[in-house]
A = this chain, B = another copy of it.
């Protein structure tokens, strides 16, 4: 079960941004810091809660969401009406809209979380030192986890639940366009958590929906332990550049499928179509296909036909285009195509002389998310796996499998594309830190 699919559809390149809902308002630095301090105080209490208390709260929150469904949908209707009034595209309206089944799904996600093991308290390693000291490294919550997202309002419930299950206070900042929905959801969740005996501030919305309030949040180092931005590349870059709080970068996926000389070409075709067209708007979708020159003559015509059938526009380099039976069925790739995360039914396509050229192309243009090789050669697979620097490397498997649910983590807060702390799908354990506990009987350290 995946309680949170971080690869929710995102805006394709060139889509207009959703306007900030003006009524939701500005906040002062002090407003934001005061909220962060409340989260910090709540985090101290949450850190020592046993699993049973957290699970009871998650179940109460699920029940509360279902009980309050009407009020939540009414709040959401305000957001949808405002978005429609400003001419927001239908695809974005669809992301914004909550329905009865979507509220039920949110509640189900919280119940799924209650059923997962608690990562807190796990002894990661332990030993007895030569001087008799007992050393244990124990998993502890991060503390205050801030999540900045542009996505659907159901992220609010999912993110709050994942943070809480891992013992953290959640400080949430959704889109201004979803303000009323998020406000209603957080009010319901926080009240239910409090009734279940948790701190009322275990789940909070960051005050304000203006850009300044995000800046205040990003510089609340010492109050906020980690910020996870989820959304388009622009949001993520802004957070990375402006934050003094540690950031986990998520989600930008410029993924490649490399069809090796030793590939089973029928398998390659199936993997390519699944990687590209299954859900083109998510970050684990393939945006590029690289074909080894030795099989290009056989593979390219079939690939172009299958991609066309799936509605995909191929942006081909000259060598690739030269092998297409009808050159009008592809468009010429420009330099920017190689670095573009289309999030749409488009793919960049190139012929490469060999595996190392594919690896070099990926090193130059990949985003470190997911890279796939299709090959029957063990040597080729090993070389690709060892040399491609990405969160996930697929051998004869669809890029679409990079997913916390598919990986069996039960829950996922996002897919990290950085190397520090967490890389790839992040589950509950990735929202924790550790603490060394050293127990002795009066040992002192010798002078040295």
Chain A contact residues, CB within 8 Å of chain B? 44, 47-48, 127, 129, 133, 135, 137, 140, 142-143, 221, 225-226, 240-241, 244, 246-248, 264, 267, 270-271, 274, 278-279, 363, 381, 385-387, 389-398, 400-402, 406-408, 418-421, 423-425, 433-445, 447-448
Contact = CB atoms under 8 A, between A and B. Distances in A.
Given A401-B438, A406-B129, A142 B419 contact: yes
A385 B447 CA distance: 27
Contact of A419 (B143, B278, B444): B143
Contacts of A392: 435-438
Given A278-B447, A397-B133, A419-B226, A385 B442 contact: no
Please report whether the interface of chain A is mostly helix, strand, loop or mixed according to DSSP. Answer: mixed
Contact of A48 (B274, B387, B420, B433): B387
Given A48-B387, A225-B420, A226-B419, 16 more contacts: A44-B363, A47-B387, A129-B408, A133-B397, A133-B401, A135-B408, A279-B448, A392-B436, A393-B435, A395-B438, A396-B439, A397-B439, A402-B436, A406-B445, A423-B435, A424-B435
Nearest to A221: B240
A226 B246 CA distance: 12
A400 B244 contact: no
A438 B386 contact: no
B391 A435 contact: yes
Contact of A241 (B244, B363, B423): B244
Nearest to A138: B385
Count of chain copies: 2
Given A419-B226, A419-B433, A436-B393, A445 B274 contact: yes
A407 B135 contact: yes
Nearest to A222: B368
B419 A436 contact: no
B389 A47 contact: yes
Given A44-B363, A442-B267, A445-B278, A437 B395 contact: yes
A278 B48 CA distance: 34
B437 A393 contact: yes
A425 B438 CA distance: 13
Contacts of A444: 270-271, 274, 278, 398, 400
B442 A396 contact: yes
A397 B440 contact: yes
A299 to B, nearest CB: 15
A402 B441 CA distance: 16
